[in-house]
Amino acid sequence: MIRIENLSKDYKTKTGLVTGVDNVTLTINEGEIFGIVGYSGAGKSSLLRCMNLLEQPTSGDIEVDGLNLTHLRGEKLRQARLKIGMIFQHFYLISQKTVGENVAFALKAAKRPKEESAKRVDELLDMVGLADKKDVYPAQLSGGQKQRVGIARALANNPSVLLCDEATSALDPNTTLSILRLLKKINRELNITIVLITHEMNVVKEICDRMAVMQDGKVIEEGEVYDIFSDPKTDLTKEFISSVVSFDVPQPILDACTGSIIKVQFKGAVAGEGVITDTVQHFDVKGNFLHGTIEYIQEKPLGLFLMEIEGQPDNIRRAITYMEGRGAKVEVIQNGI
């Protein structure tokens, strides 16, 4: 478990102090994948680097597995950091060393015996799917392969926590997906807590259990990924979600609609039921779909539909009430009643 309490980080600049992290309190549960989302400058990377004290917090506490890192110095802090692996956006591999030597470097820094290190390198490269790349150099690898080496290196000393700083931002979509699936596999098989910094909601949607949204150094929203996707509270979160689930319909089409335009959302098992079909049949209204999708988040369906509904005003009202009674969330976008 990671417990962050009242954490702040200030930076000295020529124009004065700038606050990168502003009084953040978070709890990240053991064995979960936790996403931290925000635009550039939101403070998310500063927060991540404070978690293993690469950045010394200005105030507040960081506790990992019951150990308060902010109270540690010297050798005790170094030993604690061995249990916190880190993956970077730009890989940071040593170009003059082979893949195997890059992974072994982390073990050498921890003063592991050579024979033990050699065996561990083989295990790690097999785990990340690079057993055949042990003797090649980073320049011979693709971006995805380089990141797999970075993951193997981060896992070298059996960490309980893995920190990922924009680990997929430099990768193409297909490679990103393969890396995310590898991280999820590592999380489930090794029960490693993963904290993932990103500005891409697709990344969060793919593998995260819970998430936090940051703006101006503060956490402005946090919770289960499914709950936040289905019911975002802040404008910024809604903006991020719209990048994944878009309801953009050309204005001329909306202008041509003579009925009411409604946005209908179904959560969980209800998303797979024929609620809209039943509504149209039972209440003598006509439905015209403008946009629709069923997203799967944490393997649970979230149905999102935009539709025009036409009919007598009383029938439309009763139809909306019926859908809400069946578990739908209905928002009237344009009232044609």
CB 319 within 8 A of CB 244: no
Domain spans of the chain, in order of start: 2-242, 251-334
d(CA 43, CA 47): 6
| Residue 271 predicted with pLDDT over 70 | no
- For range 325-330, the mean pLDDT: 89
129: left (phi over 0), alpha (psi -120 to 50) or beta: left
Q: How much is the pLDDT for 75?
A: 87
Which of the four pLDDT bands, split at 50, 70 and 90, describes residue 208? very high
- For range 298-311, the mean pLDDT: 88
| Residue 39 predicted with pLDDT over 70 | yes
| Residue 249 predicted with pLDDT over 80 | no
Q: How much is the pLDDT for 99?
A: 95
Residues 103-150 have pLDDT tens digits of 998 888 778 888 888 899 999 999 999 999 999 999 999 999 999 999
User: 3-state class of 40 per DSSP?
Assistant: coil
Quick one: how far is CA 216 from the chain centroid? Answer: 19
Type of residue found at 163:
L
Q: How much is the pLDDT for 272?
A: 58
| Residue 222 predicted with pLDDT over 70 | yes
Q: How much is the pLDDT for 333?
A: 85
Higher local confidence (pLDDT), 28 or 288: 28
CA 153 vs CA 22, 46, 159, 161: distances in Å: 31, 22, 11, 13
Non-local CB neighbours of 174 within 8 Å, separated by 6+ positions:
none
Q: How much is the pLDDT for 244?
A: 84
Reply yes or no on domain 251-334 having CATH 3.20.20.80: no
Residues 256-266 have pLDDT tens digits of 888 889 989 88
Q: State the pTM of this model.
A: 0.89
d(CA 301, CA 303): 6
Q: How much is the pLDDT for 336?
A: 67
Q: How much is the pLDDT for 273?
A: 65
Non-local CB neighbours of 50 within 8 Å, separated by 6+ positions:
4, 7, 9, 21, 56, 57, 62
CATH code of the domain made up of 2-242? 3.40.50.300
| Residue 248 predicted with pLDDT over 80 | no
pLDDT more than 70, % of the chain: 98
| Residue 337 predicted with pLDDT over 70 | no
HSE, CB side, 13 Å, CA atoms: give it for residue 11. 13
